[in-house]
Structure formats: C-alpha cells, structure tokens
C-alpha cells in the first residue's frame, strides 16, 4: 500500500458497558439471546495502521479478547480514563512484553496515570536485569497534546463523562469516543470530516455519565461522520432490534467487528 492510501483500521475487542452482557444474575431477553452480537465484553479497541496495533484501554477480558481476535502484538497502550472496566486487564500486557522482548509505552493523562500507579505501580518499575520478569514492563507517556505512535498522529479529544474529564482519540479520519455524556463545544471542531465515529450509547434511558441512544444520535448527527458505530452498550439494547430503529449511517457495533477509515 502506498503512503497516500494507507488506511486506519479499528477492531472492536469489546462493546459492552461496565457490567458486560450478559450481566451476572440477569436472564433478560438480551442477556440470554442466541445472537453472538448480543454478547459484549468490556469496552476496548485496537487501532491499526502499517501493520502496527495500538491498544486503547485494557479491560478485565483483555486476554480473552486478544486470543479471540488473533492480536499477537501491540505497539503501545493508550487510555481514555481509569475506570475499572477500562484498566483492570493491564497486567495481561506482560505477554506482549515477552513477545517483544522489551518495554511498551503507555499513553495517558496525568490523572489516569495516578490511578494506574495505584493499581499497577509495579508494572512501571524498571526490571532488575538479574531477575526473570513475570510482570509487565511499561513506560509512562503523558498525554498533554497531540502525540505520535509509530509515525501517526493521535489527537486527544476532551470529553466529559459525568463530571469527569476523559479523552477520546482521533487518528486520521477515525475517532473513538467512549464513556461520554457531554462533548465540549471545542471538541466538535476536532471531530469534523470523519469517515468513522465511534460513540458511547448506553441505553434508551437517560444516564448521568453516558449518552443515551437519543443523545448519541443527536451528537452523531451534528458530527456527521460517514458512518457512526455505537459502543459501551448495556443489556437494554438488543443488537438486531436496536439497529433496525437507528437512523441511516448509524449502528451498534459488536465484539470482533472491524471498520476502516482513510488516514487523512
């Protein structure tokens, strides 16, 4: 592929809300659905280009997600925020350290790094060369402004998740915005002219820290990406029935789905 037409691909490792679907102890229609697209692990994606994979968030199901999707190597990890459903699989990254034979960069805001340090401080320590390492070997990278991974620009998109500031990311003509209940006015500027927008849409009912389907449709309509895929989906939304009711160009994503966009 030439420099001009190299694309950006996004793979959904997980599209479920923090409890996952099926949810423990729930036997509703969606939690017992035979449709594999109604089985949703916790929210994470791989963004790929030039045969390089970048992992966005590390869910409690990271190992199962990577095995299921043949993700054999990653270049770096990028975090949206430090809620448990987005970080608790970070220890599994040690497999990628072992395969690479070296450290892996972890990009996050200072606030997110402070939480990662509380749970996974050991993973950011320089390993003792005399000891065999059975833990991750991670390098802290602070997100303050747009940054590059493997030669491609990542633009952080400030979002609000309830009161909490979190980040979405734009890479080429693709943007991933999970865990959002409000998009600040300045951030709409960063979301212009997209091929693919991935946006939080939890359920029909309003929620304090996530877009409802109605709010997500409203934001997606204003952003006007060629296609919009919704993620962080709760058990109230059955895949097929919800998709039938969504406007053209918008749909629920499912675990294992891939979409691609131009690089700019």
Provide the minimum distance between the beta carbon of 209 and Zn ion in the complex, in angstroms, as a whole number: 7
Which residue lies nearer to Zn ion by CB, 27 or 132? 27
**Smallest distance, Zn ion to C-beta of residue 172, A:** 24
Q: 85 or 255: whose CB is closer to Zn ion?
A: 85
Tell me how far, at minimum, the Cβ of 35 lies from Zn ion, in Å: 13
In angstroms, the CA 255 to CA 258 distance is: 9
C-alpha 19 chain-centroid distance: 16
Judged by beta carbon, residue 119 or residue 262, the one nearer Zn ion is 119
Instruction: Note the residue count of the chain.
Output: 264
Q: Which parts of this chain interact with Zn ion (CB under 5 A)?
A: 18, 26, 28, 31, 83, 85, 179, 235
Q: How large is the greatest C-alpha to C-alpha distance in the chain, in angstroms?
A: 60
> Rounded to the nearest whole angstrom, what is the least distance from the CB of residue 132 to Zn ion in the complex?
35
How far apart CA 59 and CA 89 sit, in angstroms, is 5
CA distances from 196 to 79, 154, 229 (A): 20, 15, 8
Nearer Cβ to Zn ion (49/176): 176
Q: For the purposes of burial, counting CB atoms within 10 Å of the CB of 125, is it exposed (0-12), middle (13-18) or buried (19 or more)?
A: exposed
């Amino acid at each position: 592929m030439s420099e001009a037409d190299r694309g950006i691909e996004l793979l959904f490792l997980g599209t479920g809300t923090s409890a996952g679907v099926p949810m423990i102890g729930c036997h509703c229609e969606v939690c017992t659905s035979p449709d594999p697209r109604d089985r949703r692990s916790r929210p994470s994606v791989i963004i790929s280009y030039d045969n390089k994979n970048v992992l966005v968030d590390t869910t409690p199901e990271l190992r199962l997600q990577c095995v299921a999707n043949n993700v054999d190597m990653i270049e770096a990890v990028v975090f949206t925020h430090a809620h448990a459903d987005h970080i608790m699989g970070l220890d599994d990254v040690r497999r990628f350290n072992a395969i690479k034979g070296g450290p892996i960069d972890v990009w996050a805001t200072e606030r997110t790094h402070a939480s990662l340090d509380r749970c996974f401080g050991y993973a950011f320590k320089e390993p003792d060369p005399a000891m065999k390492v059975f833990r991750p070997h991670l390098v802290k990278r602070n997100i303050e402004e747009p940054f590059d991974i493997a030669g491609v620009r990542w633009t952080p998109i400030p979002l609000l998740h309830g009161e909490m500031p979190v980040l979405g990311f734009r890479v080429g003509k693709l943007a991933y915005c999970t865990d959002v209940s409000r998009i600040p006015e300045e951030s709409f500027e960063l979301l212009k002219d997209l091929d693919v927008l991935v946006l939080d849409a939890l359920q029909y009912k309003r929620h304090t820290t996530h877009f409802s389907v109605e709010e997500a449709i409203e934001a997606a309509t204003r952003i006007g990406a060629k296609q919009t895929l919704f993620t962080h989906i709760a058990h109230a939304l059955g895949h097929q029935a919800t998709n039938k009711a969504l406007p053209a160009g918008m749909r629920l994503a499912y675990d294992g789905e891939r979409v691609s966009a131009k690089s700019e």
